[in-house]
Amino acid sequence: MAKTKRETKPLETPADQAAKKPRGRAASRPFPHQSFEEALELASAIQHLAGSNAVRRLTLFHELNKSPESGPSRQMVVSAGRYGLIKGGVQSETLQLTPDGDVATNIDVSARERQRSRIKLAIDTTDIFRALYEQLQGQKLPSPAIMEDTVVGLGLPEHNKKECIELFVINLRFVGLLQTLSGAERILTVDHALDQIPSTPPRAQPSAAIAIEGKPLVVHSDAHFDRLCFFIGPIGDASSEYRQHSDLMLETLVRPALDGFGIEVKRADEIQDPGIITKQIFEYLLKARLVVADLSYHNPNVFYELAIRHARNLPVVQMIRKADRIPFDVNQTRTIVVDTSDLYSFVPKIDTYKAEISSHIRRALEDPASADNPFSALVGEH
């Protein structure tokens, strides 16, 4: 396949940015707030309901089983607009796919054209993502620190660098530009990524599924819950496979992902307070600023604890190993999938997994009042 020359637009200079006189939060974040995959969910729902036609915003979110005025819903609209997927904003009566958004979500176009459009929207529509990709394509994925230095050198404010790199890596992975080759994660050229897609693939399914369907416990504790993340998952005995898996997730991914947030992470076996352990777990579930739930192995205790957290509509980040299916009742919540099938599948992607977890954590901490889960969505309808 002949390589095509990709048009490169220069980053805006500080003078250009100043001329636009940006205000508020958007001025400090020159990239979308969500990953492209999250924004694509909204665009895919529009495609499912109306194709290339406009759809009423209220109708769209009713079909998605989400409140149209909630923080996450409004952010989906903003992000989909910034990626160039849709026309219309949070105050618009109707939303409609852009021509590129139509191709990116249309199962009747070829898989290569659909993926080409997704690559364009996920990377090229954001100046800092495009500039970073142009520098790194064809190379091994650098360390997060190297990429952070690179984007700062490109003019990105220092306080935005970590979040920018997290989203960039997540987007690369979603559109197939980040793959494991020869034991390392590499950033592919667009042509290389597209060459791996069969020319006549089977008809795909839509990217987004449309959803159809007192007082806190007080237990004595010295925990500082405003600075605490409670990690729930299968633990098992000290030498069990469950414990080895949980230790791997906690120490290799979750704890490092929380570094920089000023939050301590604890698992049930690390609670040192005297008293009945079950009551203490309830207290951590109801009071911790954040819960990270590992759904691997479909452990019933984990789902019981997750339900308690959902009932209080408190922030949760979900993860699961690739070998397990995400159960129906919680598959509407975005879940980080980790491939632990073997050492060679897991190790090269450690930095990518940490970036995904860190991105989800940041989102949960920035807007905890807008925590969204199947239970809260149902209650919100009544």
74: left (phi over 0), alpha (psi -120 to 50) or beta: alpha
Q: Are 208 and 101 in contact (CB under 8 A)?
A: no
- Cα–Cα distance measured from residue 107 to residue 130, given in angstroms and rounded to the nearest whole number: 26
Q: Are 81 and 26 in contact (CB under 8 A)?
A: no
Average pLDDT for the chain: 83
Q: How do residues 106-150 score in pLDDT, each as one tens digit?
A: 988 999 999 999 999 999 999 999 999 999 999 999 999 999 999
- Give the rounded percent of residues in the chain with a pLDDT score beyond 90: 61
Query: How many helices, marked H, and strands, marked E, lie in the chain?
Result: 17, 10
pLDDT at 105: 95
Q: How do residues 298-336 score in pLDDT, each as one tens digit?
A: 999 999 999 999 988 899 999 999 999 998 888 878 899
| pLDDT exceeds 70 at position 223 | no
- Binned at pLDDT 50, 70 and 90, residue 377 comes out as low
b/e sequence 17-27, b meaning 16+ C-beta within 10 Å: eeeeeeeeeee
Q: Are 234 and 245 in contact (CB under 8 A)?
A: yes
Give which of 334, 103, 52, 109 is closest to 211, Cα–Cα: 334
- Cα–Cα distance measured from residue 234 to residue 237, given in angstroms and rounded to the nearest whole number: 10
pLDDT at 184: 86
- Binned at pLDDT 50, 70 and 90, residue 63 comes out as confident
pLDDT at 280: 86
Q: How do residues 186-211 score in pLDDT, each as one tens digit?
A: 999 999 999 888 765 444 333 333 33
Residue 56, helix vs strand vs coil: strand
pLDDT at 307: 92
Give the sign of the dihedral formed by CA 155, CA 157, CA 160, CA 161.
positive
pLDDT at 370: 62
Beta pairing partners, 317? 292
Residue ranges in 83-211 assigned as alpha helix (H): 99-105, 111-119, 127-136, 144-153, 161-174, 190-195
Which amino acid type is present at position 146? I
- Cα–Cα distance measured from residue 354 to residue 255, given in angstroms and rounded to the nearest whole number: 9
Beta pairing partners, 320? 337
| pLDDT exceeds 60 at position 98 | yes
Q: What angle do CA 181, 177, 50 make, to 5 degrees?
A: 140
Q: What angle do CA 294, 262, 70 make, to 5 degrees?
A: 65
